[in-house]
Each structure stands twice: as structure tokens, then as C-alpha cells.
Amino acid sequence: MTQVDLTPDCSRCAALCCAALAFDKGPKFGIDKPAGAPCPNLSSDARCTIHAGLADAGFGGCEAFTCHGAGQRITQEAFGGASWQDDPTLAAPMFSAFQDALRIHNLLLLLDEASKLPLPDPAQCAAFRAVLTPDGPMTTTWLRDTLASDISARVMAYLQTLRDVVART
Ligand code: SF4
């Protein structure tokens, strides 16, 4: 099975987290921003204009956030390196796909962590990771079909069964 890289690489992403996700004004974010609206601190070339001083500017939540590699995967694999900033018609599908990929990568991260435990059935963990890993590029069709299945619920139910393993570790 191909190991999925869960390390974010913003240089290969079209700043999806800065536009697709919502945040609320508070201790972690300086403004209210709805999902799908580009952050006003985002430049036209996908850079954060306050990157050097995020926390001081009241955007510590941006520093703390990680997409676990979902952003570059959607940008490069599902959309061939295109950007919604260059082609606004891509905004809605890219943002939707990014939200879906976030769910997949969050599950993969949990399973990666679980795989480090002395599991009673490591093959089950590996099987779930395989289901969450497309054979080729991650496409919007693969995302839709995978998330339409009961895989999320099955993975979460499986992880719940590991509580005793975690407690013993
Ligand atoms: S403040 Fe910077 S890192 Fe945070 S969402 Fe806006 S552009 Fe992105």
C-alpha cells in the first residue's frame, strides 16, 4: 500500500485553507470569515500577507492549523496544479474537494497513530488505510464515492475499540 504523505506543503497548495474554511472572530482569529470566502489577508498569488506576524495580528489559529497534506493533494492531484485564484469557476469545486480531503486525511492521521500501537489486529488497521488511499491520484469522484460509503463511521467505530489498547500503552 502506498504511504500517504500527511505533511502539509503550502508551496504546492492553492491556499485552500485560507479560503475554503470558516473561522470565527475570537482568541484564535481576528475576524469572522465564512467558508468559501477568501481571507482578506491572502494575496493574489496565494500568500499570506501577515505570515511573519500571524499570532501578533490575532491569527494564531492559522499557525496552529494543519491540513495534514490535504491541500496540496487536492491542488496537484485533483486539479492538476490549477488555482481558484486564476480561474474562479474552480473555487466551489476545489473548496468542496478540499473539505472532503480533509476528512480523509484526518482519518488517515488517526489510523497512522493507531498503527503505532500494539494492535491485536494490525491487518484491520491496514485495511482501513487502504480503503482511504486511492490507487492513483485523489480525484473528486473517488472522494465523493468514498465518503458516500460508511467508511468514516466504520473507522471511528474501530478506533473506539482501541481504547483498552491505548490505556495499556
Ligand atoms: S491570516 Fe493568512 S494564513 Fe490565516 S487565513 Fe488569512 S491568509 Fe491564510
Segment 17-31, tens digit of pLDDT: 999 999 999 999 999
Residue 98 is assigned to a structural domain of this protein: yes
Residues 41, 49: contact at Cβ < 8 Å?
Answer: yes
Residue 35 is assigned to a structural domain of this protein: no
**pLDDT-above-70 percentage for the chain:** 99
Residues with CB under 6 A from ligand 1: 18, 39, 41-42, 48, 50, 59, 62
Atom of ligand 1 nearest to the CA of 54: 1
**pLDDT-above-90 percentage for the chain:** 93
Residue 55 is assigned to a structural domain of this protein: no
Ligand 1: distance of its center to the CA of 41 in Å?
Answer: 6
Residue 112 is assigned to a structural domain of this protein: yes
What is the C-alpha to C-alpha distance for residues 133 and 96, in angstroms, rounded to an integer? 18
Atom of ligand 1 nearest to the CA of 47: 7
Ligand 1: distance of its center to the CA of 124 in Å?
Answer: 38
Ligand 1: distance of its center to the CA of 16 in Å?
Answer: 10
pLDDT at 16: 98
Query: What is the Cα Rg of the chain in Å?
Result: 17
Residue 130 is assigned to a structural domain of this protein: yes
Query: Which range is least confidently modeled, 72-76, 86-90, 95-99, 163-167?
Result: 163-167
Length of the chain: 169
Residue 50 is assigned to a structural domain of this protein: no
**The total number of structural domains that make up the chain:** 1
Nearest to 73 by CA among 43, 48, 104, 51: 104
pLDDT at 1: 54
Name the band, by pLDDT with cuts 50, 70 and 90, for residue 98. Answer: very high
Determine the residue of 24, 42, 44, 45 to mutate for testing ligand 1's pocket, defined as the one with the most ligand atoms within 8 A of the Cβ atom: 42
Residue 91 is assigned to a structural domain of this protein: yes
Residue 80 is assigned to a structural domain of this protein: yes
Structural domain including 96 reads 10-16+67-168
Tell me the whole-structure pTM to 2 decimals.
Answer: 0.94
Determine the average pLDDT of the residues in 109-124: 95
